[in-house]
Amino acid sequence: MKTEVLIEILSEELPAIPFLKEEPKILQKWDEKLREYFLSSEFEFFYTPRRMVLLSKSFPLKQEDQNIEFFGPPVEIAYIDGDKSKGLSKAGEGFVKKCGGGEIGSIQKDGKEVLYFCKKQEGESSANLLPKMIKEWLESLSFGKSMRWGSLPESFIRPIRNVAVLFEGRGLEFEIFGITSKLQTFVHRDCGFEPRVFSSIEEYKAILSSNGVILDPKERESKILSEFKSLESEYQIQIEIDRELLAEVVAITEYPRAVLGRFDEEFLALPQEVIITSMKENQRYFAIHKEGKLYNGFVVVINSMSQSVEQIIKGNQKVLRARLSDAMFFYHNDLKKPLESYDLSKIAFVEGLGSIADKVERESKIAEYLFGDNGCNPNCLSRLLEAVKISKSDLLCEMVGEFPELQGVMGEYYALNEMKNGVALRDEQIARSIREQYLPNGEGDSLPSDKFTSIVALSYRLDSIMALFSVGKIPSGSKDPFALRRAGNAIVRIVSEQNLTLSLKSLEEMSKLCSYANFEVKRVWEFLLERIEGVIKVNASILRSVVAGGERELSGIVKKALALHQVFEGSDKEALVSTFKRVANITKDIKEAKEIKEDLLEQKEERELLECARKIKNAKYENILEYIQALFTLKTPLESFFDHVMVNVEDEAVRENRKALVYQVYQMFLEVGDIKEIAI
């Protein structure tokens, strides 16, 4: 038998950001609770700022009856001396007591005869189980910080005001979080403050929808986006839709309405990132563009059913004006101060690693090394070191103090605005490198635009990883407080995109220049190799094969792994691996290459294999993919060789010559990867 069930947890307004972080797990945790209590069923989850709601149209009235099995000790020790006629031993008596009496039998289990007891357990009523399940489910939700209210020992993200449980058309009454559950709900505050009683899911939904509460967050989002389109059409504007901000306003509104506000044009003198960040972070406003430029307007999503919104708009405009006035004040103050004048020694980096000034000094040494190791134009070195020197200065400016997410962005603006006798002190590339040192900031994010800015970005991250590893701040399990895995992913992407040199040897050289204490450079190299797998998403064994081969450069490893992956995806993987593993096995005991003596090549298959190998070795290739594709054409002559040529013949000279031929092929493959490491 099934019934409809509604569970509503009514609370004070839920803070959007911590709630949204947990929201994907909320229904999942309820499903786990259902399985735990043998009441699995389909539920939907909805939320508004003041409520979390679980709905099911087919919830079991009770648990299924279950057969509970008990397996005891082996018969040989369950009875005295293993003899049933002598009665139960202490072990056997203990099992009987555990089973609560009843007829004990025996059964074969894992090759032994053991005591066995089975009893039928009648399923418990769902109505009796739901209160306990709901409490355990609420306690399992993790929103970060929680709070207590009144004299309750329990805590939750916000005070709970009511729990309504509809079951079989009636309300379940029980005590939870210091309150007695009641089959009632509350509507939008614009529509009243009195509780509304209901007796079905349909009635519940009707009460909410007719009183200013859109229960489904997807419907609220759809309403917002529809109103955005209407505003865009009416005012010929383009609203910048930030998906994170959209999710946030959906979470804080029950009846969302999009309205247009404006701010004074004078504030457009601010960098647009400042305006957009101030509107988003402080007020949850959406920025507007018109004719390709930032427009002196904003869209605010209000939670109101009022017919007149003029006062709401005026209030929001007044608050934004104050915010932008502060930002203008910070901006003009910052412009007066040269970037080189900031004292970075005042900011600590990490305990044991000095200040940000110390970090910048290490980054300069790394940048200079990377610059020389990658064959850059020597005339650019002084500009590169200047870029690194001022790259962290904006951390101390007033604007970044207000909006930390604008670090790098403000540094670029301030670098471009520094003048001497009316002439710009720095070029656009130096300024751009300050912003781009933080790119990419996540998967899919854009990369630094050129080799110059890439070296600045690499220096920043390489020092962070090597320095933190040197003081034991190494990611483990799910813990990565300094986001070093993300930094490692960024290094892999930048090095690959710009084809920059980075190897274990170069890490060793940079670590010496920076004098990291207690430093194992090999651990950093292995850490970066681990990050490759997460970045390029290829078969892990393909990556292992490339690492085990002759490639020592990070960018080369990435390119070869991607090319190998592409070749294998379009081929008979098993046949390829089988053929080339045979090559590896035949040559496993050979330590060095030997000269191939053509006069000892007795069969045409030997000569054909040598000729094909030489053609491939001497040819020119556009890229590594072409070379690998050419290498794999050796499959046919190799198979012919193995089918017709006996390698381990009695004649030692012929035998060793044939091994040398196969070893030469193996060495050619080692330039790409050790094929025997590949598992398909």
Whose tokens are 């005026």? That residue is 314
Statement to judge: residues 19 and 79 lie in one domain: no
Statement to judge: residues 174 and 109 lie in one domain: no
Would you say residue 665 has pLDDT above 90? Answer: no
Q: Quote the CA–CA distance of 369 and 505 in Å, as a whole number.
A: 12
Is 544 contained in some domain?
Answer: no
Is 548 contained in some domain?
Answer: no
Would you say residue 635 has pLDDT above 70? Answer: yes
Statement to judge: residues 402 and 320 lie in one domain: no
Is 105 contained in some domain?
Answer: yes
Statement to judge: residues 91 and 137 lie in one domain: no
Would you say residue 112 has pLDDT above 90? Answer: no
Is 543 contained in some domain?
Answer: no
Instruction: Judge contact between 413 and 274, C-beta under 8 A.
Output: no
Is 352 contained in some domain?
Answer: yes
Q: Identify the pLDDT of residue 262.
A: 96
**Non-local CB neighbours of 155 within 8 Å, separated by 6+ positions:** 146, 147, 148
Q: Identify the pLDDT of residue 101.
A: 67
- Phi, psi at residue 161, to the nearest 5°? -100, -25
Statement to judge: residues 250 and 163 lie in one domain: no
Statement to judge: residues 455 and 595 lie in one domain: no
Residues β-bridged to residue 45: 54
First CA to last CA across the chain, in angstroms? Answer: 49
pLDDT tens string 447-469: 999 999 999 999 999 999 999 99
Q: Identify the pLDDT of residue 45.
A: 98
Is 650 contained in some domain?
Answer: yes
Is 641 contained in some domain?
Answer: yes
**How many helices and strands in the chain, by DSSP H and E?**
25, 18
Selected residue with higher pLDDT from 379 and 423: 379
Alpha helices in 391-503 (DSSP H): 398-402, 409-417, 428-436, 451-470, 484-498
Is 553 contained in some domain?
Answer: no
Q: Identify the pLDDT of residue 632.
A: 86
Statement to judge: residues 382 and 518 lie in one domain: yes
pLDDT tens string 257-270: 999 999 999 999 99
Q: Identify the pLDDT of residue 73.
A: 86
Distances (CA, A) of 188 to 235, 303, 310, 608: 30, 9, 20, 84
Degrees, nearest 5: CA angle 384-390-392: 120
Q: How confident is the model at residue 680 (pLDDT cuts 50, 70, 90)?
A: low
Domain CATH for 446: 1.10.3210
Would you say residue 473 has pLDDT above 80? Answer: yes
Statement to judge: residues 604 and 658 lie in one domain: yes
Q: Identify the pLDDT of residue 422.
A: 74
**Non-local CB neighbours of 485 within 8 Å, separated by 6+ positions:** 475, 531, 534
- Phi, psi at residue 163, to the nearest 5°? -125, 120
Mean pLDDT of the 664-676 span = 86
pLDDT tens string 347-393: 999 999 999 999 999 999 999 999 988 777 788 899 999 999 999 99
Among residues 100, 121, 142, the one where a domain terminates is 121
Q: Identify the pLDDT of residue 193.
A: 94
Domain CATH for 620: 1.10.730.10
Torsion angle of alpha carbons 161, 163, 169, 174, nearest 10°? -110
Which of 382-391, 430-439, 471-480 shows the lowest per-residue confidence on average (mean pLDDT)?
471-480
pLDDT tens string 266-321: 999 999 999 999 999 989 999 999 999 999 999 999 999 988 899 999 999 999 99
Q: Is 569 exposed, middle or buried (0-12, 13-18, 19+ CB in 10 A)?
A: exposed
Helix (H, G, I), strand (E, B) or coil at 178: coil
Statement to judge: residues 143 and 36 lie in one domain: yes
User: Is beta strand 256-262 parallel, antiparallel or unpaired with respect to 293-303?
Assistant: antiparallel
Would you say residue 430 has pLDDT above 80? Answer: yes
* 287's tokens: 């920025």
Q: Identify the pLDDT of residue 289.
A: 97
Would you say residue 252 has pLDDT above 80? Answer: yes
* Domain count of the fold of the chain: 5
Q: Which range marks the domain in which residue 70 is found?
A: 66-121
Q: What is the amino acid identity at position 483?
A: A
Q: Identify the pLDDT of residue 92.
A: 80
pLDDT tens string 134-187: 999 999 999 988 999 988 999 999 999 999 999 999 999 999 999 999 999 999
Mean pLDDT of the 523-546 span = 90
Q: Quote the CA–CA distance of 115 and 210 in Å, as a whole number.
A: 63
Q: Quote the CA–CA distance of 293 and 273 in Å, as a whole number.
A: 12
pLDDT > 90: percent of the chain = 70
Among residues 270, 301, 335, the one where a domain terminates is 335
Q: How confident is the model at residue 421 (pLDDT cuts 50, 70, 90)?
A: low
Q: Quote the CA–CA distance of 671 and 133 in Å, as a whole number.
A: 60
DSSP state for residue 611 in the 8-state scheme: H
Would you say residue 120 has pLDDT above 80? Answer: no
Among residues 152, 177, 209, the one where a domain terminates is 209
- Phi, psi at residue 176, to the nearest 5°? -155, 135
DSSP state for residue 240 in the 8-state scheme: -
DSSP state for residue 296 in the 8-state scheme: E
Which of 374-378, 657-661, 666-670 shows the lowest per-residue confidence on average (mean pLDDT)?
374-378
Would you say residue 109 has pLDDT above 70? Answer: yes
pLDDT tens string 5-41: 999 999 999 999 999 999 999 999 999 999 999 999 9
Statement to judge: residues 291 and 401 lie in one domain: no
Statement to judge: residues 432 and 503 lie in one domain: yes
Q: Is 372 exposed, middle or buried (0-12, 13-18, 19+ CB in 10 A)?
A: exposed
**Non-local CB neighbours of 343 within 8 Å, separated by 6+ positions:** 357, 396
DSSP state for residue 549 in the 8-state scheme: T
Statement to judge: residues 410 and 469 lie in one domain: yes
Q: Quote the CA–CA distance of 440 and 503 in Å, as a whole number.
A: 21
Instruction: Judge contact between 267 and 389, C-beta under 8 A.
Output: no
Whose tokens are 């050289």? That residue is 509
Instruction: Judge contact between 280 and 245, C-beta under 8 A.
Output: yes
Mean pLDDT of the 32-54 span = 96
